[in-house]
């Protein structure tokens, strides 16, 4: 019997196997056919502390006994208040306001609407968004508009709005990025710059240095251009610090958080804004309110999961686990040596990546990716290469043995392909 399910980013015509997972704990998934698979990509970058973390599961169970869902326009509840307060305590001080939504894409849509709302309220004609080449901000129309254009969205190109792109600051070409940003900002109609700090995730785990991030922030500040940090992937310790921006001493005007916000257990997102952006929407005129909502804004059960995540960050040695994992990743990557089959072995915080050499050249549609995925699946390792880029981004609870198994599989792959 064929399943009626239409899966995301899946070409059903290729008839690739779709394993059924029955349960998970820590860094492993248990499939119905009895396999124990290591989740080397944190179930698409969301699972931070491990699957079914007992404190998060308990918080969810407890919340289900109290309040399941509540309209959030004009009403509030304890779990949301606690998440907002908890976030303002650990995120940069100037980000005083917390707007809830339910996915990374919507947190980006909200960020863009906030930026436009800010300039509209100030009566300045600034509508243009600057983006970085190779960026990814989600798959809704607005989020796609500010992301890289390519095979994944060319069908929808007629619906995407125009943006201005600066080049990715590749090693040795950082100045070109800064010059391009400076030139665009001088044009005077730029509302905001949106980018992924330090790591362009979907773009192929492309890293760039903290000093470039700091310089981009400085250029925006000098030209009054709002700085939106999409930390949907990079936050919650992924790059070694709570936020990637921290490593550059950068504080954004608007910050998007999602994936690890609930420890990866339930969908929830926030867009945090500074006081000036909130105040720009403050008025006694109802026509000037911030017009955004979704049905499940600040769902209480998802908020309970987020509070458990915040508690884990407060009470448990999360930073130590991240530092240990980062060291292990660096060591395993170095152990792969210098096979002639790959380039650009790189590691930042909990993320390790390398690029396979290929006759076809890189890119998302490179035929290596599905073949590599199958190769790893056969070895009970869940990896999902981005084109010719293999990366490891595991939950922080992964054991040394599990990590070794992942890197052994990669070692085997780099000599087999
Ligand atoms: C995953 C991701 C998004 C989109 O988040 P969804 O929850 O999948 O909508 C946005 N920005 C970045 C940087 C991401 O990695």
Alpha carbons 390 and 373: distance in angstroms, whole number: 10
pLDDT band at 417 (very low <50, low <70, confident <90, very high): confident
Ligand 1, atom nearest to 139 Cα: 9
Could you give the angle at which helices 300-315 and 54-64 cross, rounded to 10 degrees? 150
d(C-alpha 310, C-alpha 289), whole Å: 30
CA pair distance 317, 385, nearest whole angstrom: 30
From the CB of 258, is ligand 1 less than 6 Å away?
Answer: yes
- The answer to whether 145 is annotated as binding is no
397 three-state secondary structure = coil
Start-end of H helices in 353-416: 368-378, 400-416
Query: CB count, 10 Å around CB of 149?
Result: 15
Ligand 1 center to 299 CA (angstroms): 19
pLDDT interval class at 1 (50, 70, 90) = low
264 Cβ below 6 A of ligand 1 = no
How remote is the CA of residue 54 from the centroid of ligand 1, in Å?
25
Average pLDDT of the chain to the nearest whole number: 96
Question: Which among 98, 129, 138 is positioned nearest to 226, based on CA atoms?
Answer: 129
In the predicted model, is pLDDT for residue 338 greater than 80? Answer: no
Domains of the chain: 12-52+319-414 (3.90.1150.10), 55-315 (3.40.640.10)
Token pair of 127 as six digits: 């509508």
269: CB partners within 8 A, 6+ apart: 100, 101, 102, 103, 104, 106, 107, 232, 256, 257, 258, 261
Q: Identify any residues that bridge with 101 across adjacent strands, giving them in sequence order.
A: 269
Q: Is the pLDDT of residue 244 over 90?
A: yes
Residues 117-130: what's their mean pLDDT? Answer: 97
305/296 Cα distance (integer angstroms): 14
User: Each residue of 404-416: pLDDT tens digit?
Assistant: 999 999 999 988 8
pLDDT at residue 76, as a whole number = 98
pLDDT band at residue 359 under the 50/70/90 scheme: confident
Q: Which residue, 377, 372, 376, is CA-closest to 409?
A: 376
* Predicted local confidence at residue 362, as pLDDT: 65
C-beta 196 within 6 A of ligand 1: yes
Q: Is 355 annotated as a binding residue?
A: no
Burial call 166-185: b when 16+ CB within 10 Å, e when fewer = bbbbeeeebeebbebbeebb
Segment 15-32, tens digit of pLDDT: 999 999 999 999 999 999
**Does the C-beta of 230 come closer than 6 Å to ligand 1?**
yes
What is the spatial distance between Cα 199 and Cα 210, in angstroms, rounded to a whole number?
10
Contact 233 CB / ligand 1 (< 6 Å)? yes
SS3 of 191, please? strand
The percentage of residues in the chain with a pLDDT greater than 90, rounded to a whole number, is 94
Q: Is the CB of 201 under 6 A from ligand 1?
A: yes
Q: Which atom of ligand 1 is the closest one to the Cα of 103?
A: 7
Is the model's pLDDT at 157 over the cut of 90?
yes
- Is residue 327's pLDDT more than 90? yes
pLDDT average, residue stretch 3-12? 96
Q: Is 366 in the pocket of ligand 1 (CB under 6 A)?
A: no
Predicted structure pTM score: 0.98
| CB neighbour list of residue 292: distance below 8 Å, 6 or more residues apart | 99, 101, 109, 110, 113
Q: What is the pLDDT of residues 36-89, one digit of tens each?
A: 999 999 999 999 999 999 999 999 999 999 999 999 999 999 999 999 999 999
């Amino acid at each position: 019997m064929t399943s009626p399910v239409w899966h995301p980013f899946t070409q059903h015509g290729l008839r690739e196997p779709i394993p059924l997972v029955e349960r998970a704990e820590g860094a492993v998934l248990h499939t119905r056919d009895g396999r124990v698979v290591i989740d080397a990509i944190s179930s698409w970058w969301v699972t931070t502390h491990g699957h079914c973390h007992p404190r998060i599961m308990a918080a969810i169970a407890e919340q289900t006994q109290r309040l399941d869902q509540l309209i959030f326009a004009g009403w509030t509840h304890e779990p949301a208040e606690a998440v907002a307060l908890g976030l303002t305590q650990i995120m940069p001080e100037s980000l005083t306001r917390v707007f809830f939504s339910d996915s990374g894409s919507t947190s980006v849509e909200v960020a863009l609407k906030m930026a436009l709302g800010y300039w509209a309220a100030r009566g300045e004609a600034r509508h243009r968004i600057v983006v970085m080449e190779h960026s990814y901000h989600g798959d809704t129309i607005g989020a796609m508009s500010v992301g890289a254009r390519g095979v994944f969205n060319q069908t929808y190109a007629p619906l995407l709005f125009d943006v201005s792109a600066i080049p990715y600051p590749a090693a040795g070409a950082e100045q070109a990025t800064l010059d391009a940003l400076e030139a665009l900002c001088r044009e005077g109609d730029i509302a905001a710059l949106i980018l992924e700090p330090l790591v362009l995730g979907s773009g192929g785990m492309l890293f760039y240095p903290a000093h470039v991030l700091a310089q981009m922030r400085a250029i925006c500040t000098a030209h009054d251009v709002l700085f939106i940090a999409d930390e949907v992937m990079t936050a919650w310790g992924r790059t070694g610090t709570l936020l990637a921006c921290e490593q550059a001493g950068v504080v954004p005007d608007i910050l998007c958080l999602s994936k690890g916000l609930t420890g990866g257990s339930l969908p929830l997102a926030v867009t945090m804004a500074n006081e000036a952006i909130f105040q720009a929407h403050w008025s006694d005129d109802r026509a000037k309110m911030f017009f955004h909502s979704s049905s499940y804004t600040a769902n209480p059960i998802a908020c309970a999961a987020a509070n458990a995540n915040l508690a884990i960050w407060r009470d448990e040695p999360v930073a130590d686990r991240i530092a240990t994992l980062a060291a292990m990743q660096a060591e395993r990557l170095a152990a792969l040596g210098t096979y002639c089959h790959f380039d650009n072995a790189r590691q930042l915080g909990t993320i390790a990546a390398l690029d396979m050499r290929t006759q076809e050249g890189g890119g998302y549609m490179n035929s290596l990716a599905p073949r590599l995925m199958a190769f790893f699946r056969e070895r009970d390792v869940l990896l999902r290469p981005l084109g010719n880029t293999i990366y490891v981004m595991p939950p922080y609870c992964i054991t040394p043995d599990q990590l070794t198994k992942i890197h052994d599989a990669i070692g085997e792959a780099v000599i087999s392909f």
